[in-house]
Structure 1
Amino acid sequence: MVFNFRVYKKQSPNGKITMYLGKRDFVDHISGVEPIDGVVVLDEDYKDRKIFGQIICSFRYGREEDEVMGLNFQKDLFLASEQVYPPPDKGEATKLQERLMRKLGPNCFPFRFTLPPSAPASVTLQPGSDDEGQPCGVHYYVKLFIGENETDRTHKRSTVSMAIRKVQYAPSKQGRQPCTVVRKDFMMSPGELELEVTLDKQLYHHGEKIAVNICIRNNSNKVVKKLKAMVQQGVDVVLFQNGQYRTTVASIETQEGCPINPGSSLQKVIFLLPLLSSNKERRGIALDGQLKKLDTNLASTTLLATPDQRDAFGIIVSYAVKVKLYLGALGGELSAELPFVLMHPKPNGKGILAKADSEADVEMFRQDTVAEPEIEGEKCE
């Protein structure tokens, strides 16, 4: 049986260190995160040197162009750090590492890092059209460098780093069907207005339409003039006490079936489709972590094992459907809200692998019981 693999390669500017990763998306299973494993190939001149590896979580919470007079709106967290060469122990290598070591020769050495379960997910906040520099958000890097110890100052020519992502996939089971009923009574008039909102399910995949079932029962003497249904994305930048905000990413406003007069009712289904393509110009919308400037999508819902498992350097993303009834200037409004989960489904087979960027070469090789991997690549500038 033959399997196809995609290997990501990046080389230091001086060509002495080359890093290979089997993938760049690492899945957070809530209880733990997939280990980050790969291999490093050394030049003969570096066989007497020490090489250290680190996993860096870079959290940018302000615009780069606003950094003046020593201000810095970026925090770098070292989530894992250890010596890669000389190898500290002979740990068990993965099948991919074994094939690469057999193909790349005796100067190829495996490495493995483990992220803590509470590490924040990769999220990028969409910049404005006039913004420059690195966008705000949470980004991850694997970094290998030459040094005497883990805290040694790195030199650009003998350092190689590659961007990766920490991702979550949708659970395999649906949760409870979301449903809510809200009522409003009026001080100077009898009766009440009732709004019932139901979603067809709790978990949606990106690109899937959301069916919002709306039932309005008007037992008051007010008139419902129009209604509006919207999908709102909630962003919570945990570092700041007032770092919560909401953005509408899909909405429909309609007067169909209106006005709803006293004593009458209305039942209808509205379909909403939250897509990034409809929100390209909205600054501050949360997107799934990006590798360079590749296309992405709206950020997935952040799943937490417990509500208090909120890393201070993370960005929590949530979604909700909100329905509003407009009763005119004197009647006011009535609104109902239902949270739901928006995520990617779990990939089949070997998983969805990220595309390469301009700095990383992609090699395809065949892996079976006979064939060895064929790797070709160019040195990065």
Structure 2
Amino acid sequence: MSLERKKQPKDKIFRLYKKSSYNGKMTLFMPKREISSVDSRDRCLCGVVVIEDQDTTDMSWKVYAQLSLELRYGREDEELMGLQFCNEMIVRNQQIYPAQDIRRTANKTLVIPFKMEISGNLSPTVRLKPSRLYTGSPIGTTYTMSVYITTEKDGIKNLQKTSMIHMNVWVKEPEVKDEIYLGEAKIFKRLLMPRSFVKVKAAALIEKEKEACTVLVKGNIQCWPCKKIEHLKVRLIQAVDVAMFSSGYFKNDVGFAESKMVDFENTYRFQFKITPHCSSLSRPGKHWLAIQDTIHNKGGIGERLAGSVLSADQNLFSIRIIYYAQVIVKLENVSKEITLKLPFVLNR
């Protein structure tokens, strides 16, 4: 009786990332450089390290793979007298040589495969863009995969700096399953005259169009007695919360629409379509702006807004990003403006 063997599914590799050390003796290959911040099924980094012209009989040297996290919360050009605006943490460090599954070739070349599994929640990769021109180290959270060789002599470990390799890794926020996210709000206010009132109700929805996301803000205004609307404004706001600061959020306008001097009877219905953007926000006086930083958008070409980051835990390395639409209504002969806040989720 013959037993049929079940074919094991194999992961197909469509792209391979490569980086060599300064002296050219060590090369790192990785099939992927993106992992999920919360999904345990997508929390594994693997690769192959190739070392040339190394004495394999000498057991005093070892090879390590290390994943580190850096949070930079200030400009590098403003660091003075040893003060650094960054925190660093080693997420995972493991020895990959000497180990099993080592392949030696005839020309004294070592081929070392490794697999690194990450446990616990990670803060997503976030890039912050200052309002003034900046060319220093990236501001925000940065993950780096490092491979290096250490030698031990007389009980002292030495690091071979010319054989170090550093390769960036991106941690992504999982997308919200629902394609349309709805944020609703309403407000009811009494006016000075008897039985007079104003009621504003609005909602914000996300409409996906290929790679772009459009925010649809619609609602209605009810008022008695009838009054004229001096202005109706809708602002899209990005709020960034950096854990190292306790002074609140960095807020930036990422979209705007308005209408002025509108006459209506009893009920006025409005609707605005706004596309969030960051092209016109790099002017003096604005706060740091969270922009998308992925392996597919490196070098600042075609900058796009970062997606919402809601799962970040409150720790020294977390950065949260939230979006909301602010509806501002100003009625004739009413001193105060009426404001509604409509949160929404921006997926990337």
Please give the TM-score of this superposition, normalised by the length of structure 2: 0.83
Structure 1 residue ranges without an equivalent (≥5): 92-97, 345-381
8 Å CA contact 2:181, 2:344 repeated in 1: no
Matches within 5 A, 1:123-272: 123-148=126-151, 154-174=159-179, 177-187=182-192, 190-200=195-205, 207-220=212-225, 222-255=227-260, 258-260=261-263, 264-272=266-274
8 Å CA contact 1:139, 1:289 repeated in 2: no
Identify the match of residue 14 of structure 1 among 23, 31, 35: 23
Structure 2 residue aligned with 1:76: 88
Query: Structure 1 residues 332, 67: CA separation in 2 closer, same or farther (over 3 Å shift)?
Result: same
How many pairs were matched up? Answer: 327
Q: Tell me how far 1:176 sits from its aligned partner.
A: 6.3
Q: 1:208 is paired with a residue of what secondary structure? A: strand
Q: Does 1:60 align with 2:72?
A: yes
Rounded to whole Å, the distance in 1 between the matches of 2:94 and 2:55 is 18
8 Å CA contact 1:185, 1:193 repeated in 2: yes
Q: Tell me how far 1:128 sits from its aligned partner.
A: 3.1
Structure 2 residue ranges without an equivalent (≥5): 1-9
Q: 2:308 is paired with a residue of what secondary structure? A: coil
Q: Tell me how far 1:178 sits from its aligned partner.
A: 2.6
Q: Does 1:37 align with 2:41?
A: no
Query: Structure 1 residues 40, 269: CA separation in 2 closer, same or farther (over 3 Å shift)?
Result: same
Q: Deviations along 1:149-173, whole A, 9 cap, x unmatched?
A: 8x96644311101011101242333
Structure 2 residue aligned with 1:358: none
Structure 2 residue aligned with 1:297: 304
Query: Structure 1 residues 115, 207: CA separation in 2 closer, same or farther (over 3 Å shift)?
Result: same
Rounded to whole Å, the distance in 2 between the matches of 1:142 and 1:188 is 67
Query: Structure 1 residues 21, 170: CA separation in 2 closer, same or farther (over 3 Å shift)?
Result: same
Rounded to whole Å, the distance in 2 between the matches of 1:218 and 1:186 is 10
Rounded to whole Å, the distance in 2 between the matches of 1:283 and 1:8 is 35
Letter aligned with residue 244 of structure 1: Y
Q: Deviations along 1:32-88, whole A, 9 cap, x unmatched?
A: 65211111111131534201111011110111011111111111110001111112x
Letter aligned with residue 45 of structure 1: Q
8 Å CA contact 1:203, 1:340 repeated in 2: no
Query: Structure 1 residues 206, 123: CA separation in 2 closer, same or farther (over 3 Å shift)?
Result: farther
Q: Does 1:28 align with 2:34?
A: no
Rounded to whole Å, the distance in 2 between the matches of 1:215 and 1:142 is 52
Letter aligned with residue 324 of structure 1: I
Query: Structure 1 residues 284, 109: CA separation in 2 closer, same or farther (over 3 Å shift)?
Result: same
Rounded to whole Å, the distance in 1 between the matches of 2:203 and 2:39 is 28
Q: 1:214 is paired with a residue of what secondary structure? A: strand
Moved more, 237-246 or 223-232: 237-246
- Aligned CA RMSD, in angstroms, stands at 3.2
Q: Tell me how far 1:174 sits from its aligned partner.
A: 4.7
Q: State the identity %.
A: 24
Q: Deviations along 1:119-176, whole A, 9 cap, x unmatched?
A: 1110011123432311310011100111158x96644311101011101242333576
Q: Deviations along 1:88-132, whole A, 9 cap, x unmatched?
A: x559xxxxxx9xx99x99621111223343211100111234323
Please give the TM-score of this superposition, normalised by the length of structure 1: 0.76
Q: 2:306 is paired with a residue of what secondary structure? A: coil
Greater length-normalized contact order (CA 8 Å, ≥ 6 residues apart)? 1
Identify the match of residue 334 of structure 1 among 324, 335, 338: 338
Question: Which protein has the bigger helix share?
Answer: 1
8 Å CA contact 1:189, 1:221 repeated in 2: no
Structure 2 residue aligned with 1:279: 281
Moved more, 123-132 or 316-325: 123-132
Identify the match of residue 322 of structure 2 among 312, 315, 318: 318
Q: 2:77 is paired with a residue of what secondary structure? A: helix
